Amino acid sequence: MIDTAPFGRTGHQSSRALFGAAALGAMSQEKADVVLAKLDLYGINHIDVAASYGEAELRLAPLMAERRSDFFLATKTGLRTKDRAREQLLASLERMGVDQIDLIQMHNLTKADEWEVAMGPGGALESLVEARDEGLVRFIGVTGHGTYAPEMHFRSLEAFDFDSVLLPYNFSMMQNEQYAADFEKLYEVCQEREVAMQTIKGIALRRWQETDTEKHFSWYKPIREQAPLKRAVDYVLSRPGLFLNTSSDASLLDAVLRAVGDPVSAPDEKALAEDVADLGVEPLFVRGVSDDVYPEG
């Protein structure tokens, strides 16, 4: 079974791997039920979804109807104004058939102009705080993609006492000196304040290229080879306080969860660098080039 750890100061012991429910977005209910049945096999007790992940919230509804209390349930809103964010939150509650969400997150809040709207008067944060006061949600977080995520999360934490953050973390991105410095600064404050840190893109290889012929189950090409995948997983989990969100490619769920469940080894920097060279690993996000160039999931 996969180890658990305190999810920040929420009081919940979450599995170190969080199920990324973007994997359910385009599935039939029948297929989604098969995927969700795997969570019990590995001891996954934390589900991360978003209003924008296709039909994913609907696919979770049958499980929530029977076993809501067994899972820490997180979703996201990408809308920036108070009224629209509340409408989306209420829709998420209805779609999943639940009375309360454990964690509501402002989705990909990394652009300065959107940040000013969401965090300002009449912004999304106001509606999420009100929802918390009403008991519709328990905790509030913020997520981000791209190289500005740690910098903007730090800014967000200075403005509001968020319970969690979510951002990319893998070996290739941490070779970028600016990103690494910003990540370390954020990591330090999250550790001090007991803010949960969720990571995404842990097994990313690179963006898809025109010459790639295999089916695309996630918007980036993932690492599939067993040994490099295990090293990528260990790179994340060897760091105290980090959680790994599983890929939106459901065909990799078993491989990733097996890797998470096996004993974690300290990062082998030499082997990781060799994986970069051998597999052609590239950062998904390059400042000024591809920070905001990606589909959902």
Ranges of each domain in the chain: 4-279
4-279 in CATH: which number? 3.20.20.100
Which positions ≥6 away from 21 have C-beta within 8 Å?
47, 48, 49, 50, 53, 56, 57, 59, 60
What does the pLDDT read at residue 286?
A: 86
Task: State the Cα–Cα distance between residues 61 and 92, nearest whole angstrom.
Answer: 10
Q: How far is CA 178 from CA 32, 149, 169, 181, in A?
A: 39, 12, 13, 5
Task: State the Cα–Cα distance between residues 206 and 219, nearest whole angstrom.
Answer: 10
Span of 80-84, 138-142, 160-164, 282-286 with lowest mean pLDDT: 282-286
Q: What is the pTM of this model?
A: 0.95
Q: How far is CA 123 from CA 1, 108, 116, 156, in A?
A: 41, 15, 8, 14
What does the pLDDT read at residue 15?
A: 98
| pLDDT tens, position by position, 245-270 | 999 889 999 999 999 999 999 999 99
pLDDT cut 90: percent of the chain above it: 88
